Amino acid sequence: MRRYVIKRLAQAVGVLWASYTVSFLVLDLLPGDPVSAMAGAGMDSGQVDPAQLAGLRHEYGFDKPVPVQYAEYLGRAVRGDFGDAVSTGRPVTSTLADALPQTLQLTGAALLLAVVLGGGLAVVATYTSRRWLRQLLLSLPPLGVSVPTFWVGLLLVEAFSFKLRWFPAFGNDGPRGLVLPALTLAIPTGAQVAQVLAKSLLTALDQAYVETARAKGAGRRRVHLRHALRNASLPALTVVGLLVGQLIAGSVVVETVFSRDGLGRVTAGAVTTQDIPLVQGVVVFGALIFVATNLLVDLVCPLLDPRIAVTSDRRGSFA
């Protein structure tokens, strides 16, 4: 188990380093530079003193060779210092800290809804003995996956805000303002959870241990919820960890559609102004949440099935 944990920690560090490096290279390849973009957005770029632009480039280190910039930025990032945002002059960590609570509320609520709705749909679809109902329920997840997130958001706003007036359409208006954005994010995510869990449940119900439990007199509900669901939940749990990254990415669209303050709007503004320090801070922070969630899933899975840690350890030994 110790080797399993060390291996997962090393992989987490590798993902964080790769996310930082890729974001740095992509931003460096973009045409122009953040100082010129900032000057063009805030004033007539033709009237800006070239010496002033040169001074700003020197202040932010954009006049140095790319390898030197990368080494300096990476060294500061390891210490948790991403510098100041070019567009606002505020520290990147402070900007992210201000936007973080709203995004965490949104993604947390969306993840909870996705697990409850997707898991419930899969359990009901595989438990029912009515074939037409099973086929109907199993056809819903592919539909939920294929529908664009922004389109779902617009439909929910039209139905529940403009017509029924149950929830506010825009802004961060307390718990009521969180319902529609969270549901918008939860629908495609829950559909993927339902697909994986339903398939795993149908496979588990055909296994020999299920037949053994039935032969011992276990009832249909007990077999379904206690024996089959425990083993079938492992693939779904793994998918939930991966979907956290999708939720963070989807928050950019959802927060824009619903005019919510959060990391999504910060990211959109940073990309528009080519604010390299702020974009890198957002990317690394998003990768940190993704890595931490998947690391938690990797540590929980062996508790549900100890064979996972043993298998991983044997593969590492053979390698």
pLDDT class of 217 with cuts at 50, 70, 90? confident
Look at residue 145 in the predicted model and tell me its pLDDT. Answer: 78
Digit-coded pLDDT (tens) for 123-140:
888 887 788 888 888 888
The secondary structure of residue 45, as a DSSP letter, is G
User: Is the confidence at residue 42, as pLDDT, over 60?
Assistant: no
Residue 170 CA, distance from chain mean position: 22
- Looking at the DSSP assignment, which residues form a beta bridge with residue 91? 84
- The single-letter code of the amino acid at 179 is V
Rounded Cα distance, 61 and 58, in Å: 5
**How much is the pTM?**
0.70
Question: Of 173-187, 191-205, 289-303, where does mean pLDDT reach its minimum?
Answer: 289-303
pLDDT class of 319 with cuts at 50, 70, 90? very low
- Is the pLDDT higher at 188 or at 300? 188
Look at residue 317 in the predicted model and tell me its pLDDT. Answer: 42
Short-list 297, 290, 282, CA closest to 100 = 282
pLDDT class of 247 with cuts at 50, 70, 90? confident
Short-list 23, 18, 38, 21, CA closest to 275 = 38
